Structure formats: C-alpha cells, structure tokens
Amino acid sequence: MPQRPAACLFDLDGLLLDTEPAHARAWQAAASHFGRPLDGAELLSLRGRRRLDCASQVRQWIVAAGGPRLSEEELLAVRQPLAEALLASAPAMPGAEALVRRCRALGIPMALATSSARPAVERKVAPHPWMALIDERVHGDDPELADGKPAPDAFLLAARRLGVATTACWAFEDSRAGVAAALSAGCRVHVLLPPGVSCRTYPEAVVCLNSLEEVRLDPES
C-alpha cells in the first residue's frame, strides 16, 4: 500500500466542510414546497453532484409524483436562498484543517475537486482561512469541466493542473457520485463515510474512514 501520495485531491461538501446537512435541509424544503418530500435515500443520492444536476433530478421526482412541471430555475429560486443562509456558518469537518496543514508541511500538492460553483465555494470557505492552503481548485462551473460527478472529469482536470498522474493521487470523497468519479479517474480513493452508511456499500478498492483524523501520511517516503 502506498504511504505517500503524489498529490491529494479533496472534495469539499461533507468532506472538508460539514455542509451536507444544510444542503439536505434546503433540498428537502424546496421539494416539499412543491408537494414532493424526499426520503433519506434520495437525499443521499444528491450528495456530491452539481447543483443543476441535482435540480434536474429533484424536478423529475416532483413531476413524476404529479407535481407542477416547473423548471430547474424555478426550483432553485426556492432552494438557493435557504441553502445560502444555512451554508454561511458551516463548520469544518473534524480533522480537515489538520490534514490540509499536514499535506502542506510535507510538500504534498493539493487540489479541490468540487461540484460546487465558484461563488458558492467562496462563500463557504470564507470563515476558514486554512482553505487558502489548497492552491488549485476545480469548481463545478469550471469552464474546462465537461461533466460533473460521477463522471471522472473533475479529478482528471485537477490532477492535470497539478502535473501528476491520477493513479499516483489520493482522492478524498464522501458521496457515492464522488467515489465513482475518483475511481473512474484512477485515483486511490478514501471515502469519509456519511452517518449510517456502511463501508460494505462501496467497492473493495476504497479506503473507508470514519474521520479524517484517521488519515496517515508517511513523512519519510
């Protein structure tokens, strides 16, 4: 097992910042506003995906249940104000800051590979100055990004910008869509398990974590 990655590629929501409860509450409130509450499995399936991709899926669920044939924009008009208010104070995940600082101390290149658009990322990371240690960022609205997760594009683009092979990178994710994307890109994948989700639901190739505090980086290799 490799003890030292050529680079670390990080998801943001639910991995470095504890934003997923806020995202779930906002999607639930918006869907319920149009008469179609979401269940736990549906909310889990939205994790890690781009906002417009999520909006398209939720809109389909609303229409299939006999709700209004609204557009993604109409759905987001309800969802976004709720999300922005909730996300403004999202705390860091346990061990996130220490892991990023450890990578910087060891000289391990880092990149953010997130489905969130740049303006949303800037709002969420503003209270966390340590996030500035991650120099390279691939956002969900990056003009060079073709497809969002579960497509591998975000990780392929992040590794290319760092000048390293994806097969030499460690990717850190928390969502099924993100894990699928990182595996498809060829990364060694670490998954931070969401509450109530078993490691058995992921491919054997992934490294399951209950906390980022469990990550060990070899300073000698």
* 66 torsion bin: left (phi>0), alpha (psi -120 to 50), beta (else): left
User: 181, 149 in Cβ contact below 8 A?
Assistant: yes
Residues listed for the chain? 221
Q: Where are the alpha helices (DSSP H) in 88-219?
A: 96-106, 118-125, 153-162, 176-185
Q: Is 13 in the active site?
A: yes
11 is catalytic: yes
Structure tokens at 6: 């050529």
CB 178 within 8 A of CB 202: no
CB 40 within 8 A of CB 142: no
Q: Which helix (H) or strand (E) element contains residue 148?
A: none
Which candidate in 11, 53, 142, 174 is catalytic?
Answer: 11
* Given 13, 53, 142, 153, the catalytic residue: 13
Residues 6+ apart with CB under 8 A from 183: 189, 203, 205, 206
Answer for the pair 46, 14: CB distance below 8 angstroms, yes or no.
Answer: no
Catalytic site residues? 11, 13
